[in-house]
């Protein structure tokens, strides 16, 4: 149930989960509430369908993926600490480039694991990137797209727990997104993608991934939200 919620771009309700997973609505609601109590989900009341005012009925419980700042692993293998120590061993002069290239390769590896197929359409390609991460258990969605610039939002970025613990490793994270987008959007090269993650270290905030794709002749298409 947690994997299902993390694999969706949008929040879910108990009715949706029950229908998709073939369980009773009360079972779905109970398990979602337990996941929320454990800190994996955030629950808020929301009216769907645009109805409001008298007769609109009670708002439904909507479950969103909670921002994940620490990796969940048992037993804890302390891999983030190991990677941080390896990063510190890299020469200062070449560290930034090495981390970026390692991140790009990791992003390509994730794309392969998720069988990500590229699209010539920018929005479709970015949505495929988000769906690919969802298939691996990581939540992501396209927040906005304007010409050659996009913003993705992710509550459970694969490398955020590492960057929170070792901010000097942030180059791996930015490279990972570039490598993923290269495999999701046809004609884009990872080394030309500019990537920023300004909220990565913000407690309890969903991470924003700001991407400038560096494509030649890109035209503005107007801001849209997904």
What is the per-residue burial (b if ≥16 Cβ within 10 Å, else e) of 97-114?
ebbbbbbbebbbebbeeb
pLDDT tens profile 161-206:
899 989 999 999 999 999 999 999 999 999 999 999 999 888 778 8
Q: What is the pLDDT confidence band of residue 133, given thresholds at 50, 70 and 90?
A: very high
Instruction: Reply yes or no on whether the pLDDT at 138 is more than 60.
Output: yes
Say if CB 180 and CB 117 are below 8 A apart: no
CATH 1.10.10 occupies which residues in the chain? 2-65
Residue 103, pLDDT score? 96
Indicate the CATH number for domain 2-65.
1.10.10
Say if CB 173 and CB 101 are below 8 A apart: no
User: Which tokens go with 87?
Assistant: 């990063």
pTM: 0.80
């Amino acid at each position: 149930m947690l994997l299902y919620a993390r694999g969706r771009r949008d929040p879910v309700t108990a009715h949706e989960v029950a229908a998709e997973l073939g369980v009773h609505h009360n079972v779905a609601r109970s398990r979602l509430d337990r996941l929320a109590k454990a800190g994996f989900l955030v629950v808020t009341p929301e009216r769907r369908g645009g109805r409001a005012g008298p007769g609109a009925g009670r708002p439904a419980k909507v479950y969103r993926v909670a921002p994940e700042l620490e990796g969940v692993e048992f037993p804890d293998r302390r891999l983030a600490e190991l990677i941080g120590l390896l990063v510190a061993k890299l020469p200062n002069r070449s560290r930034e480039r090495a981390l970026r290239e390692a991140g790009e390769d990791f992003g390509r590896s994730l794309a392969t694991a998720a069988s990500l197929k590229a699209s010539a359409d920018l929005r479709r390609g970015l949505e495929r990137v988000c769906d690919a991460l969802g298939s691996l258990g990581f939540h992501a969605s396209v927040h906005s797209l304007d010409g050659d610039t996009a913003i993705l939002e992710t509550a459970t970025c694969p490398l955020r727990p590492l960057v929170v613990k070792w901010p000097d490793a942030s180059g791996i994270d930015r490279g990972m997104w570039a490598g993923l987008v290269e495999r999701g959007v046809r004609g884009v090269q990872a080394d030309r993608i500019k990537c920023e993650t300004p909220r990565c270290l913000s407690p309890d905030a969903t991470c924003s991934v700001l991407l400038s794709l560096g494509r030649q002749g890109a035209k503005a298409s107007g801001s849209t939200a997904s």
